[in-house]
Amino acid sequence: MQRLDRFLSEAGVESRRKLKDVIRSGRLTVNGAVCTAPDQKIDEKTAVIKLDGQVIGRGAKRIVVMMHKPAGCVTAATDDRYPTVMEHLPPEYRRLMPIGRLDMETEGLLLFTNDGDLAHRLISPKHGVEKSYYAEHAGTADADDVAAFAAGCVLKDGTKCLPAVLEPLGEGKSLVRVREGKYHQVRRMLASRGKPVSYLRRISEGSLELGDLPIGMTRELTDLEIEQLESVDFDEKFFKEN
Ligand code: URA
């Protein structure tokens, strides 16, 4: 059993702030009855929950959408100051929640879903899903930088990162593979080695590659891609490669 507001938040129905208003507005039904109590307990495995008549959560078709996020927008449902990634989503996908975040100036692979479990799995440090990034930065990465990443970078504020993979690609370019998602992590890791980042693009997440999806565009994942995304044993993969 789960609280209704928690269920809705995990299903990405609205931002947490707006959730109470949505519930109190009477637009929600649980097993056919209008429900206005955020703390109502529901059986998330069997309950049929609808918002404006549309099934949400488990009963609904699971959707995962990949976006090639452009720079210049924030990963948020709404923002008072900056454009959001939602503005690049076709209207039929605007109820989905972003899985994790990319910084305002970072481009690349960003996923959206209505499946709270999948989102949790991809974000949770417990599963250590690997994400890889192409970075352009000052200087040229060398063997000492590779060793520092492998040992776990210590950021300028003293934060210790998990072991990560740095692959130098020649002058001012590197590939970075991490399995956690601290604030501005890749930028801060490279900055801790004296190599501030000027351009960053996420190119893969778990089994998924950004490929040649044009910048600013989205596409729905196939059922097979979604199954692969859920079923890779991420920890094992990471440790084998290290
Ligand atoms: N690391 C960063 O520095 N920024 C991102 O957006 C993602 C990872």
Domains annotated on the chain, with CATH: 2-58 (3.10.290.10), 61-242 (3.30.2350.10)
103 lines ligand 1 (CB under 6 A): yes
Task: Enter the pTM of the model.
Answer: 0.76
Tell me the pLDDT tens digit for each residue of 30-78: 877 899 998 889 887 777 787 876 677 655 678 899 999 999 999 998 8
Annotate 76-117 with DSSP letters as a single string. SS--SSS-BGGGGS-GGGTTSEEES---TT-EEEEEEES-HH
When comparing pLDDT for 181 and 12, which is higher? 181
Question: How far apart (Å, rounded) are the C-alpha atoms in residues 190 and 213?
Answer: 27
Tell me the pLDDT tens digit for each residue of 85-140: 999 999 889 888 899 999 999 999 999 998 877 888 888 888 888 999 999 999 99
186 lines ligand 1 (CB under 6 A): yes
CA of residue 25 to ligand 1 center, whole Å = 37
Tell me the pLDDT tens digit for each residue of 47-60: 778 787 667 765 56
Nearest CA to ligand 1 atom 6: 102
Average pLDDT, the chain: 88
187 lines ligand 1 (CB under 6 A): yes
pLDDT band of residue 242 (cuts 50, 70, 90) is very low
102 lines ligand 1 (CB under 6 A): yes
CA of residue 52 to ligand 1 center, whole Å = 36
Residues assigned a catalytic role: 103
**pLDDT exceeds cutoff 90 at 161:** yes
